[in-house]
Amino acid sequence: MIEYDLRHRIWLLSTPTTAYAPGLDDDGTPRHVRRGPPLTLEQAAAGAEEQRYSC
């Protein structure tokens, strides 16, 4: 399944056993947000917010 969060500019690509969440920085640069066990789009968005403010 593929989902998109417009506000955080991330995609969530998920299977029954894994998830990958790539996204775009504010300037449009592709970035890695998360890869690992399944998660929801909301969890991936929260991870994107954490990364944005930890830099």
Length in residues, the chain: 55
**pTM for the predicted model, two decimal places:** 0.82
Given a cut of 60, is residue 54 above it in pLDDT? no
| Domain parsing of the chain, residue ranges | 2-54
- The predicted structure's pLDDT at residue 12: 96
Task: Give the neighbor-by-neighbor strand order of the sheet with 2-5.
Answer: 2-5, 10-14, 19-24, 30-36
**pLDDT for 13-33, tens place per residue?**
999 999 999 999 889 999 988
Is there a contact between 47 and 12 (Cβ–Cβ < 8 Å)? no
- pLDDT > 70: what percent of the chain? 91
Phi then psi for residue 15, to 5 deg, are: -125, 175
Query: Which residue type does 2 have?
Result: I
Q: How confident is the model at residue 48 (pLDDT cuts 50, 70, 90)?
A: confident
Residues of the chain above pLDDT 90, percent: 65
